A and B are shown apart, each in its own frame.
Chain A
């Protein structure tokens, strides 16, 4: 865990932590496949004195690391070595962190299962026949399997929270604008956020203290002061109004998950919170809106991958071949599907019926949240309608896969912050996660409530047997 590692490293240096973690990766990563890049020789020990004291942190492979290949788990970025660090990586280094390895993911973060990686799927440490969730599946699996002290992921429609729930760890998607995206390979620019994936709520707060804040290189980062998030821990939940949105407890929700989240509500009530049912009436449209607006942004963002400036270039005759062949051979199936869909919804004659319509329904979804937050301070929901599914189970049917994100996507559409944290296990021993959603820039309320629940239940004490 990050907090304990910092304490240990401050006393005796981080070498022992880096060594034992390296040993752990050697032992288990041939089975888990959480890393796309791990090379002990490349780990540059931090020489900076800072709050993270040299402790290793792992980074999703769509976040640029100077001098380290950054591939987004795509063949098209094979061999791309960024000449600069993403702002979050720079901040980690300035805080004294050692960058430990690059984590596996769905190609370009397109997926909910971590199976679309060009480097093979990551497996769920709790059951190797099951998916870790996606797209930040490598980051979540690494933390769950003890192969990372803490990791960064990115979340466009649930890509931090779904894998956190499936792997039994804590994943925070901060408010849109809270963390700089400079150096994050763009997917859906009006949705993408970087956030921490950690074993505990306190670890999440410690990392947020390092990565949050304004950055002049990302004009969408908010110029607002960053609180000390650890101060929100231990405040308790007395008087806090927590809402259960009716639209999240519907047919299709696994009964064991429903029971677990409702039990969490009962625990909150016992601790002094006020539980109330609320409505988010447009929730059922969120997946449809997302698969118009986010893929439109993605198709535009992925236009730059054409074999000219970086990464893979296919054998070619003329310039047209260079573009068409590089993109055909370089992108995987899901990337092509989203590029095609995005190109279609932005194409002449369809823009208004699809893209503009999607943006309008997005407004209604945002307004749902604004109204709900007039009544309550926080929302409590499931993260996923099902426990982790088997590898291959949803891969052939994209729509079924997309619906795995039904409870996470509306959060990105509204830009609000949300955390997935462990809320128990199924009878068969698979992790269950719950989600806490707050008003924009109210991550402290999430930390406050998440910490109270975590200290009451202590699910984080359980570890997968590998």
Chain B
């Protein structure tokens, strides 16, 4: 099956270089051909496993707790302004 690398790279937010694309596409096609052997397994009456512990939702009390990590977290941000992470404008003006 052909791997639509441009489309998937767009979904994955990766701007691949042209020279990367050919190799990745070839690798991914051979991996997909390999995983296709799963088609041979009859799973009609099988429930999927998403988690091995069979946990129920776990809740804790919604309480305010002291936290002092804000400054430390922002200290290593690639770019910050005051108490915020700084990014380029999200909406471009026409």
Contact = CB atoms under 8 A, between A and B. Distances in A.
Contacts of B43: 357, 360-361, 363-364
B34 A399 contact: yes
A426 interface: no
A334 to B, nearest CB: 10
B15 A325 contact: yes
A308 B87 contact: yes
Interface stretch (A13-21, A44-52, A315-323): A315-323
22 contacts: A83-B72, A176-B52, A216-B60, A292-B35, A308-B77, A308-B85, A324-B15, A333-B23, A333-B24, A337-B24, A340-B5, A340-B28, A341-B31, A343-B8, A344-B3, A358-B38, A360-B41, A360-B46, A363-B43, A366-B49, A399-B27, A415-B52
A343 B11 contact: yes
Contacts of A442: none
Contact of A323 (B13, B16, B34, B55): B13
A361 B50 contact: no
B11 A347 contact: yes
A309 interface: yes
Given A287-B34, A308-B85, A310-B76, 13 more contacts: A190-B50, A219-B55, A220-B51, A222-B53, A308-B87, A313-B79, A318-B92, A328-B14, A328-B15, A328-B16, A328-B17, A339-B12, A340-B14
A325 B16 CA distance: 9
Interface residues of A, number: 68
B76 A322 contact: no
Nearest to A362: B49
A356 B38 contact: no
A299 interface: yes
Nearest to A307: B78
A361 B38 contact: yes
A289 interface: yes
Interface string B82-94: 0001011110100
Nearest to B10: A324
A354 B39 CA distance: 9
Nearest to B13: A323
Contact residues on B (Cβ < 8 Å of other chain), bracket: 35 or more
Interface string B24-63: 1001101110110111010100111111110100101000
A336 B16 contact: yes
Interface in A376-425: 398-399, 402, 413-415
A190 B27 CA distance: 25
Contacts of B58: 219
Interface centre among B24, B37, B69, B78 (most CB of A within 10 A): B78
A357 B38 contact: yes
A317 B89 CA distance: 10
B67 to A, nearest CB: 10
Contacts of B30: 398-399
Interface of A: 79-81, 83-84, 176-177, 190, 216, 219-220, 222, 282, 285, 287-289, 291-292, 299, 303, 306-313, 316-319, 321-325, 327-328, 331, 333, 336-337, 339-341, 343-344, 347, 354, 356-364, 366, 398-399, 402, 413-415, 440
Nearest to B44: A360
A97 to B, nearest CB: 23
Contact of A360 (B20, B47, B78, B92): B47
Contacts of A282: 41
A347 B11 CA distance: 9
Interface centre among B9, B58, B72, B87 (most CB of A within 10 A): B87
A303 B20 CA distance: 20
A327 B9 CA distance: 11
Contacts of A341: 28, 31-32
Contacts of A313: 78-79
A360 B48 contact: yes
Given A81-B76, A361-B38, A363-B48, A299 B12 contact: yes
B78 A311 contact: yes
Contacts of B34: 287-288, 291, 399
Contact of A309 (B14, B51, B53, B85): B85
Nearest to A328: B15
A360 B28 CA distance: 22
A316 B49 CA distance: 41
A80 B76 CA distance: 6
